């Protein structure tokens, strides 16, 4: 019988084969990184880039919150400057941080290892995706040097085609290119999951993180081209004065909104579905308990991916589109809520009779459950037509999507980062500091954004530089919350960086996971596995044993008859 240890794993496992060579030290030098085809190094480069962008986007968020401490001018007396801040905050967080954060950063690192593969199906395409991301980011910076942009992250026409801010075209081209980065990553993941699964891993033996990445990849490939076309049309209208969206030239601004949300609503799920995949892993592994309702969780990811294409019109209830369309979009929008509810209850049931290790990744998973429940439930107010009329374009919407995009997607990303940190870096971070920082983030987040629900339902529209005095108390509370949250994130950055140099060496399997990434060394060797290992049920933790010598867990592969069966089938195939 395996047992639980809450003692921190101490020394790394020495011995074993090729003990100290791993993907980090197998080759050296700057070029060995920027020209690497190794999915793990690309994943690390993505992670670093995304976290740097998160810092920049976060600084803009703090500037916005600080400006809103008082009505009228607080730290800038220019509404244009404020408009640029919130636009940059939104555009950076959506296009440079959240969309690539889980699939491109963590997914790139974990997906091939979970499959027991040596790399993704198309390693060169993978590196190309990364450079497209870099090109998009560089163009965004260029746009700042050309006068910035103040369109909001949604680029609504005709404002975006007529504003005098000089940086609109470079940033739109940048987002266009980022879209291709996203499409290529999605294609790569679809092919990898189809073709490179190990013996024994049928579709319903896949870790749920892979199901989530698969559903995400489908959406990336199907939806992102529409964004690309839309942005191309926008550039054509702005630079060549060809009327597509501007009524002065015979266009229709509502058409832009249809195009934009046809991508950007699925994009919301491109952000949240991989987060749900992480949460499935976190809750199962740290509860040491078979995930409850595997098939329902897997299918609900696919259901969300499908429904997400049918509900874009709920962003446009007040745009002047027909009342009948509003009624239909309202009706279909509720359908997305149901698979999300199914997931929440399945995760909750996984906790039941589990053996729950309350550590940092688990705390983030629990925070996710609470925050995502609020984020999901407040979607009800907005899908309901009569209440949406009042709440549309107010801070209620701002609060709602921050609960989903930040409180859920980014919190899951941070939880996943902690979960796989020992695997990625080979080091353990300080668990106690991790839990304290998670507390700061959780409390700060709720203080910041729960307040904004009231702010919105009381009638404060979004994207306001100046506001009525009656709203000030809410704004002050919200801003204080953002400082608490920032404290938590800076602490996190501090102890994670510290662990790189001074952290204890991590064992191969510090948490007791049993998917394949926990069955190779931490950090993994350059080619992950010498031979693709066969797998059984990746949520059957009965074969996970504690090894006091290594202060870590190991998967007793001989104890699982399914693995033996899969191995035998492979032998058969080889014959």
Partner 1 sequence: MTMLDSIPTMLATLAAAAPAESAPSPAGFWMPVGASTVAGDVDFTMDFINWVCGFFLLLVTVLMVIFVVKFRAKPGDAIRMGGPVHHTGLELTWTIIPGILSMAFFWFGFKGYLDMQTVPKNSFDVNVTAMKWAWNFKYPNGAQSEDLYVPAGRPVRLILRASDVLHSCYIPAFRVKKDCVPGRTTNIWFQCDFPTGLDVDAAHALRCAEYCGTGHSNMNRKVYVLVQEDFDNWVTKQANWLDEVPDSELSSIAGPKLYARCAQCHSLDGTPGIGPTWKGLWDRVNGGAGSDGKFTDGKGYKDIIGPGKEFETPEAYIEDSIWNPGKHVVAPFGNVMPTFKGQVNQRGAEAIIGMMKSLDQFDAKGKPIAK
Binding to partner 1 (CB under 8 A): which residues in 29-68?
none
Q: Could you tell me which stretch among 52-60, 413-421, 499-507, 538-546 binds partner 1 (CB under 8 A)?
A: 538-546
Q: Judged by CB under 8 A, which of 348, 497, 500, 568 binds partner 1?
A: 348
Pick the closer one to partner 1 by CB: 253 or 415.
253
Q: Judged by CB under 8 A, which of 74, 334, 433, 498 binds partner 1?
A: 334
Q: Could you tell me which stretch among 42-50, 193-201, 284-292, 481-489 binds partner 1 (CB under 8 A)?
A: 284-292
> What is d(CA 115, CA 113) in angstroms, rounded to the nearest whole number?
5
Pick the closer one to partner 1 by CB: 68 or 120.
68
Question: Is residue 202 at the binding interface for partner 1, with CB under 8 A as the rule?
Answer: no
DSSP codes joined into one string, 169-200: HHHHHHHHHHHHHHHHHHHHHHHHHHH-PPTT
Q: What is the DSSP letter of 505?
A: B
> What is d(CA 572, CA 410) in angstroms, rounded to the nearest whole number?
44
DSSP codes joined into one string, 545-571: EEETTTTEEEE-GGG-HHHHHHHHHHH
**Residues 362, 356 contacting (CB under 8 angstroms):** yes
Pick the closer one to partner 1 by CB: 164 or 202.
164
**Residues 350, 421 contacting (CB under 8 angstroms):** no
DSSP-derived 3-state class of residue 544: strand
**Residues 228, 174 contacting (CB under 8 angstroms):** no
Q: Could you tell me which stretch among 43-51, 169-177, 464-472, 483-491 binds partner 1 (CB under 8 A)?
A: 464-472
Question: Is residue 477 at the binding interface for partner 1, with CB under 8 A as the rule?
Answer: no
Q: Minimum Å distance from CB 177 to partner 1?
A: 25
Q: Minimum Å distance from CB 151 to partner 1?
A: 8
Q: Minimum Å distance from CB 148 to partner 1?
A: 13
Q: Minimum Å distance from CB 98 to partner 1?
A: 21
Q: Judged by CB under 8 A, which of 203, 345, 490, 527 binds partner 1?
A: 345
Q: Judged by CB under 8 A, which of 235, 309, 381, 559 binds partner 1?
A: 381
Pick the closer one to partner 1 by CB: 235 or 385.
385
Q: Residue 297 forms beta bridges with which residues?
A: none
> What is d(CA 264, CA 483) in angstroms, rounded to the nearest whole number?
29
Question: Is residue 242 at the binding interface for partner 1, with CB under 8 A as the rule?
Answer: no
Question: Is residue 558 at the binding interface for partner 1, with CB under 8 A as the rule?
Answer: no
Binding-residue pattern over the window 4 to 23 for partner 1, x denoting contact by CB under 8 A: xxxx----------------
Pick the closer one to partner 1 by CB: 328 or 564.
328
Phi and psi torsions of 213, nearest 5°: -65, -35
251: left (phi over 0), alpha (psi -120 to 50) or beta: beta
Task: Map 486-555 to HEC letters.
Answer: HHHHHHHHHHHHHHHHHCCECCCCCCCCCCHHHHCCCCCCCCCCCCCCCCCCCCCHHHEEEECCCCEEEE
Binding to partner 1 (CB under 8 A): which residues in 401-460?
453-454, 457-459
> What is d(CA 533, CA 81) in angstroms, rounded to the nearest whole number?
55
Q: Could you tell me which stretch among 116-124, 177-185, 472-480, 535-543 binds partner 1 (CB under 8 A)?
A: 535-543
User: In the chain, what's the furthest Cα-to-Cα distance?
Assistant: 79
Q: Judged by CB under 8 A, which of 291, 410, 414, 496 binds partner 1?
A: 291
Q: Which of 459, 481, 314 is nearest to 401 (CA)?
A: 314
| Neighbour count for residue 283 (Cβ, 10 Å) | 27
Q: Read off the tokens for 459.
A: 């009638």
Question: Is residue 462 at the binding interface for partner 1, with CB under 8 A as the rule?
Answer: yes
Give the Å distances, CA to CA, from 69 to 32, 114, 465, 475, 521: 47, 47, 11, 6, 49
Q: Judged by CB under 8 A, which of 119, 388, 430, 560 binds partner 1?
A: 388
Binding to partner 1 (CB under 8 A): which residues in 248-267?
248, 251-254
> What is d(CA 94, CA 99) in angstroms, rounded to the nearest whole number?
6
**Helices assigned H by DSSP within 458-471:** none
Buried b (16+ CB within 10 A) or exposed e, 389-407: eebbebbbbbbbbbbbbbb
**Residues 336, 254 contacting (CB under 8 angstroms):** no
Q: Minimum Å distance from CB 78 to partner 1?
A: 8
Q: Judged by CB under 8 A, which of 22, 74, 319, 487 binds partner 1?
A: 319
Question: Is residue 480 at the binding interface for partner 1, with CB under 8 A as the rule?
Answer: no
Question: Is residue 374 at the binding interface for partner 1, with CB under 8 A as the rule?
Answer: yes
Binding to partner 1 (CB under 8 A): which residues in 62-121?
79-80, 83
Q: Minimum Å distance from CB 568 to partner 1?
A: 25
Q: For helices 360-383 and 395-404, give the axis angle rounded to 10 degrees.
A: 140
Pick the closer one to partner 1 by CB: 94 or 183.
94
Question: Is residue 467 at the binding interface for partner 1, with CB under 8 A as the rule?
Answer: yes
Q: Minimum Å distance from CB 252 to partner 1?
A: 7
Question: Is residue 389 at the binding interface for partner 1, with CB under 8 A as the rule?
Answer: yes
Q: Minimum Å distance from CB 243 to partner 1?
A: 10
Q: Minimum Å distance from CB 324 to partner 1?
A: 10
Binding to partner 1 (CB under 8 A): which residues in 137-156?
150, 152, 156
């Amino acid at each position: 019988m395996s047992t639980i240890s809450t003692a921190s794993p101490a020394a790394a496992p020495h011995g074993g084969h090729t003990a100290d060579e791993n993907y980090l030290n197998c080759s050296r030098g700057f070029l060995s990184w920027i020209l690497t085809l190794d999915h793990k190094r690309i994943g690390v480069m993505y992670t670093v880039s995304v976290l740097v962008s998160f810092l920049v986007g976060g600084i803009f968020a703090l500037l916005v919150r600080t400006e809103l401490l008082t009505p009228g001018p607080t730290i800038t007396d220019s509404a244009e400057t404020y408009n640029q801040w919130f636009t940059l905050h939104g555009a950076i967080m959506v296009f440079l941080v959240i969309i690539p954060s889980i699939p491109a950063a963590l997914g790139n690192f974990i997906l091939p290892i979970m499959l027991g593969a040596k790399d993704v199906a198309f390693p060169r395409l993978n590196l190309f995706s990364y450079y497209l991301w870099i090109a998009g980011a560089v163009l965004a910076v260029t746009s700042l040097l050309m006068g910035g942009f103040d369109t909001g992250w949604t680029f609504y026409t005709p404002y975006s085609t007529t504003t005098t801010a000089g940086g609109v075209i470079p940033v739109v081209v940048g987002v266009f290119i980022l879209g291709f980065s996203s499409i290529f990553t999605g294609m790569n993941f679809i092919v990898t999951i189809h073709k490179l699964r190990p013996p024994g891993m049928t579709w319903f033996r896949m870790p749920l993180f892979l199901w989530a990445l698969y559903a995400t990849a489908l959406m990336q490939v199907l939806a992102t081209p529409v964004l690309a076309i839309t942005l191309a049309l926008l550039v054509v209208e702005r630079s060549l004065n060809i009327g597509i969206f501007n009524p002065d030239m015979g266009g229709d601004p509502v058409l832009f909104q249809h195009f934009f949300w046809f991508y950007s609503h699925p994009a919301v799920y491109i952000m949240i579905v991989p987060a749900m995949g992480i949460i499935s892993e976190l809750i199962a592994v740290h509860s040491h308990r078979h995930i409850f309702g595997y098939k329902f969780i897997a299918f609900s990811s696919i259901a969300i991916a499908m429904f997400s294409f049918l509900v874009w019109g709920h962003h446009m209830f007040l745009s002047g589109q027909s009342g009948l369309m509003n009624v239909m979009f309202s009706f279909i929008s509720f359908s997305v809520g149901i698979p999300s509810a199914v997931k929440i209850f399945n995760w909750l049931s996984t906790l039941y009779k589990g053996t729950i290790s309350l550590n940092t990744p688990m705390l983030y998973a629990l925070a996710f459950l609470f925050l995502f429940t609020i984020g999901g439930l407040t979607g009800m107010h907005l899908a309901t037509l009569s209440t949406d009329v009042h709440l549309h374009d107010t801070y209620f919407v701002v609060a709602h999507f921050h609960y989903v995009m930040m409180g859920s997607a980014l919190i899951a990303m941070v939880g996943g980062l902690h979960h796989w940190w020992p695997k990625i870096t080979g080091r353990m971070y300080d668990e106690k500091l991790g839990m304290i920082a998670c507390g700061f983030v959780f409390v700060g987040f709720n203080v910041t954004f729960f307040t904004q629900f009231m702010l919105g339902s009381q009638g404060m529209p979004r994207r306001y530089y100046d506001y009525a005095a009656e709203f000030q108390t809410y704004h002050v509370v919200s801003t204080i919350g953002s400082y608490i949250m920032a404290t938590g994130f800076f602490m996190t950055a501090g102890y994670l960086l510290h662990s790189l140099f001074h952290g204890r060496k991590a064992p191969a399997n510090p948490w007791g996971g049993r998917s394949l990434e926990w069955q190779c060394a931490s950090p993994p060797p350059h080619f992950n596995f010498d031979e693709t290992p066969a797998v059984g049920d990746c949520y059957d933790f009965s074969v996970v044993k504690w090894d006091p010598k290594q202060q870590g867990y190991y998967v007793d592969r001989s104890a699982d008859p399914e693995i033996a069966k899969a191995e035998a089938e492979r032998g058969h195939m080889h014959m």
